[in-house]
Structure 1
Amino acid sequence: MREPIALPLDQPELTADLGGGLVRRTVHPSGLRVLTERMPGARSASIGFWIGVGSRDEQAERPDAPGSLGSTHFLEHLLFKGTPTRDAFSIATEFDRIGAEHNALTAKEYTCYHAKVRDADLEVAVTMLSDMVANSVLDADEFETERGVILEELAMAADDLADVANERFFEAVLGEHPLGRPIGGWPETITEARRADVDRHYRDRYDPSTLVVTAAGAVDHDRLVAQVLAALNASPEERWHTDGAAAPVRREQVVDASPAGAEAPGRASLDSPLEREPRVRITERPSEQVNLLIGTHGFSAGDPRRFAYGIMNSVLGGGMSSRLFQEIREKRGLAYTAYSFGASYSDSGVFAMYAGTAPEKAADVIELSRVELRRLADTEISGEELERALGQIAGSTALALEDSDTRMGRLARAELGSGELFDLDASLERFAAVTPEHIREVAATLAARPLTVVAVGEASRSSLESSD
């Protein structure tokens, strides 16, 4: 079986063939890591500046220490708003001048600032992203402006009942675990956020040891490394200079980077019990449908059962031929869409089944979802279902890897997370090794856990009753 590429933190240089793309990696003495994948024939490149800190690493305020809830997402906005040499309009116009697709994202375990550009403009993207990440001034006026923008973003999400259901589901399943918090924060935490606390979060968490730069497409590795180092060393912020020595940081080490005296945010609630009693959580909203999520906590990103878990999700709710789609939509017409998914993190995860349906049909959809999960847990799937799931996974993965954004993200998630980089063949070999019994065992593990039901909409028109 083809082995993944190992990414040890103590190996300064690495070169490998990743399914036709040349992968190179440099671990700089400063802790900075740069990974590239050259894609033959490409005339563009995707580049990301990834900080291994996400919303789960924020700290609630205590009497003896300031809090930082919402700071990670706040920074995602503020880093576009100005540096000592560029204001917000200059940043926008310089990206537009080269036709870049640029944006940022905040996740529960990392933050990324990224751009996709012509190969000839990659150095411009490096200069811009380096300046934003290393030299943001977090201007006080811009801070207040972005407070309003973020509150509007949260309000927009609050109008999307599927988004509301997703947030409520994470809260219900994970409880006080840091992963249970919404990535963007709550309106009250954004309203109360202080610039000094966000600035402290920025200075404590952003430095070369937590930075991973990845690029895929038409990219020269040595040139990119030189460009990134030059840009960081030009920073007026001494913490970004790369002439010192520091150990690079992975997810399991992020807690050790906490400010002195601060609670280790990534581990703070890991001892809290995740096994919970079955519950129904209802959020009443005027709507024509009830958005339903039925599930429990799932598997971590490094769990050895993750390949069986992926196939199980494909069979249960991964496409139009899946069991949930066929039973709920095609046979009974109870919903427009029905699917299942898993979200996996370094030490935990969630599993859920989703459907949007009329309030009067909600109880039937919930029961059908439970029945289909139980059926997977009790009976091995057929060979035809397994073959179809393997084909779906192989095809969708291969198609995704045609895009340089996907390959750029794959490099970063391997580096920040497991330290193992799988090419397509290595992944597919592991999926192919999964048996129907492996899938049944994964489904049985999930079915044995207490299932939480989250309903958002006019649930009062249904027969559902909240257990909270």
Structure 2
Amino acid sequence: MTRKAHITARPSSSGNEGRAVPRQRTRTVLKGTAEGIGTVRKTTLPGGLRIITETLPTVRSATFGIWAHVGSRDETPSLNGATHYLEHLLFKGTKRRSALDISAPIDAVGGEMNAFTAKEYTCYYARVLDTDLPLAIDVVCDMLTGSLIRAEDVDAERGVILEEIAMTEDDPGDCVHDLFAHTLLGDTALGRPVLGSVETVEGLTRDRIARFYRRHYDPTHLVVAAAGNVDHAKVVRQVRAAFESAGALGRADALPVGPRAGHQAIRTAGRMEVLDRRTEQAHVILGMPGVSRHDERRWALSVLSAALGGGMSSRLFQEVREKRGLAYSVYSYASGFADCGLFGIYAGCRPGQVQDVLKLCRAELDQVAAHGLTDDEVRRAIGQLSGATVLGLEDTGAIMHRIGKSELCWGEQLSVDDMLARISSVTPDDVRAVARDVLGRRPSLAAIGPLGDRQAAAMQDAVS
């Protein structure tokens, strides 16, 4: 595929004649220690490309990633699965590299390279030794700016993606989360699966995917993030050179897109969707609308979720597994999107015990909605959440994920200390308030397993 070049060194093609061309802007977003540890810097290039780094000079690794402001919620019904399909195709070859030339150099230095697609963003990244960071930058930037998206690669990768869909369908513990999203969000872009369906994937053509690529992968929709033993100025020079050589810097006066907004509606509570499948276990999610990722109550909801179903001492684990042995896996979780959120309780159990498990889960939801948590439960949940937050950010990959996603989704950075302060500031009254607002709603239910009509009808009690 040939992309139209917009290089800032050529004003005649940028449309900026007679106007001042925006200059590169760099600023320190978060100040680290005197040695520079944890310092976060951000540069915005002419054309809207944002580059953000966190410097950790005491480590020997670096993780480099590019975040794209596009996910499955940006797809029309017939394009469902296009974002994930495109993620696969960017590994298939560029003007400079074959698929093997993309993967082999990273393998040769002991690095790892991967990507993932979510409902609201996509990320491509490589983790390498700090001395091999220039290689990672060159390879990942080339993938994002120079993908060929050949028709033969589209046809070949179609089979791989169909196998991935089949693999997911064979894992009911995974598939039930897609079913729960559909139960609450319906046949909307957020309610449809990231992978798409067999029908939509079979219907996607090279031209449709290429148009999707051109529309969503311009610099204004991208955030470059690097963490580890990195030098911000060097990363900026290397990224800028890579985008300039590909003619991919865009119009010099273009501005980055801001954090996503939307108006996604949640379907009426009390809904139930059941897939009758011949599995050994039944997999159920009982839940309701949560809060968006911009809602300040998300900190209190995280504490609530940790206490309700986030660990071995949580209420659900104790009541469902420890005391009664009704399930091996039971937990709660909260997912936040730009304009809405989901809160759910998952359990996997033998089909004959579904009613008992759902009865216990509903009882705990009603109890906490009415009375909140004890002060001891809140303190324990805050400690658990704080420790997990820090331990989850102990490698450069996790740090790259934090700073890249923060820039893309919130347009700001919170230090680890800021995050811990937000968690620690949650009070029992905050938890009680969010419990009333969220858990006090009538729940909905998604279930997969060998559940006949009679059993499905009995499960209706859980959402009544």
The offset of 1:464, in angstroms, is 2.5
Residue 242 of structure 1 and its aligned partner are, at CA, apart by 5.1
Alignment match, 1:452:
444
Unpaired runs of 5+ residues, structure 1, are 1-9, 62-67, 254-266
Map 1:345-364 onto structure 2 (within 5 A): 345-364=337-356
Aligned-partner Cα distance in 1 for 2:179–2:251 = 46
Report if aligned partners of 1:298, 1:348 keep a CA contact under 8 Å in 2. Answer: yes
Residue matched to 1:17: 31
Q: Deviation per CA, 1:267-309: give whole Å up to 9, x if none.
A: 5xx36x4241412211011111100100012110010101110
Q: Which residue does the alignment assign to 1:54?
A: 71
Please state how far the C-alpha of 1:11 moved relative to its aligned partner.
9.8
Listed one character per residue, the Cα deviations across residues 46-72 of structure 1 (whole Å, up to 9, x for unaligned) are 1101111111011235xxxxxx32210
Aligned to 1:313, the other structure's residue is in SS state helix
Q: Which amino acid aligns with 2:58?
A: G
The unaligned stretches of length 5 or more in structure 2 are 1-22
Per-residue Cα deviation, 1:161-191 (whole angstroms, up to 9, x for no partner): 0111111100011113321111111111001
TM-score for the superposition, normalised by structure 2: 0.90
Cα distance in 1 for residues equivalent to 2:122 and 2:273? 30
Q: Separation in 2 of the partners of 1:80 and 1:143? A: 11
Give the match for residue 58 of structure 2: 41
Secondary structure, counterpart of 1:184 in structure 2: coil
Shift in alpha-carbon separation, 1:318–1:18, aligned structure 2, 3 A: farther
Instruction: State the distance in 1 between where 2:148 and 2:175 align.
Output: 33
2:81 and 2:126 map into 1 onto residues whose CA distance is 24
Question: 1:327-352: CA deviations, max 9, x gaps?
Answer: 00001100001100011011111110
8 Å contact 1:341–1:352 — kept in the other structure? Answer: yes
Deviating runs (4+, > 3 A) in structure 1? Answer: none
**Farther-moved stretch of structure 1 (449-458 vs 222-231):** 449-458
How far, CA to CA, are the matches of 1:321 and 1:307 in structure 2? 20
CA distance in 1, matches of 2:269, 2:390: 40
The match for 1:419 among 411, 419, 422 is 411
The amino acid that maps onto 1:247 is L
Shift of 1:463: 2.6
What CA deviation, in whole Å up to 9, does each residue of 1:416-468 have, x standing for no partner?
A: 11122111221222222212121112111122323111110111297332879
For residue 244 of structure 1, the aligned residue among 252, 269, 272 is: 252
| 1:325–1:164 CA distance, 2 compared to 1 (3 A) | same
Contact 1:363 1:462 in 2 (8 A): no
Give secondary structure in 2 for the equivalent of 1:31. Answer: coil
Query: Which residue is 1:175 aligned to?
Result: 186
Partner in structure 1 of residue 375 of structure 2 = 383
The more displaced of 16-25 and 283-292 is 16-25
Q: What is the rounded CA distance, in whole Å, between the counterparts of 1:399 and 1:197 in structure 2?
A: 42
Is the CA contact (8 Å cut-off) linking 2:24 and 2:45 kept in structure 1? no
Work out whether residues 306 and 314 of structure 2, in 8 Å CA contact, stay in contact via their aligned partners in 1.
Answer: yes
Q: Equivalents in 1 of 2:250, 2:42: separation in Å?
A: 17
CA contact (8 A) 1:276 1:450 kept: no
Using the size of structure 1 for normalisation, the TM-score is: 0.89
Match of 1:259 in 2: none
Is contact 2:63-2:227 (8 Å) kept? yes
What is the CA distance between 1:209 and its match in structure 2?
0.7
For 1:293 and 1:44, locate their aligned partners in 2 and report how far apart those are by CA, in whole Å. Answer: 39
Counterpart residue type for residue 312 of structure 2: M
Identity of aligned residues (%): 43
Q: How many angstroms apart in 1 are the aligned matches of 2:165 and 2:159? A: 10
Query: What is the aligned partner in structure 1 of residue 177 from structure 2?
Result: 166
The reply on whether 1:408 has 2:400 as its aligned counterpart is yes
Residues 119-148 of structure 1: per-residue CA shift (max 9 Å, x gap): 111000111011100000011111111000
Q: CA RMSD in A?
A: 1.9
Moved more, 373-382 or 391-400: 373-382
State how far apart, in whole Å, the 2-side matches of 1:85 and 1:429 are: 47
Q: CA deviation at 1:252?
A: 2.8
**Are 2:80 and 2:194, in contact at CA under 8 Å, matched by a contact in 1?**
no
Q: Which residue of 278, 301, 322 corresponds with 1:286? A: 278
For residues 397 and 274 of structure 1, the distance between their equivalents in structure 2, rounded to whole angstroms, comes to 29
SS in 1 for 2:410: coil
Q: Does 1:200 align with 2:211?
A: yes
Q: Helix, strand or coil for the counterpart of 2:63?
A: strand
Distance across 1 between alignment mates of 2:191 and 2:25: 36
Q: 1:123, 1:227 within 8 Å by CA — same for their partners in 2?
A: yes
Deviates more, 1:427-436 or 1:226-235: 427-436
Which of 333, 336, 348 aligns to 1:341? It is: 333
Q: Say whether 1:432 aligns with 2:424.
A: yes
Is this contact kept in 1: 2:24–2:46, CA < 8 A? no
* Structure 1 segment 117-266 matched on structure 2, within 5 A: 117-235=128-246, 238=247, 240-241=248-249, 244-252=252-260
Contact (CA 8 Å) 1:109, 1:251: kept in 2 or not?
no
| 8 Å contact from structure 2 (residues 103, 113) kept in 1 | no
Q: Secondary structure at the match of 1:179?
A: coil
Distance 1:413 1:119, change over 3 A: same
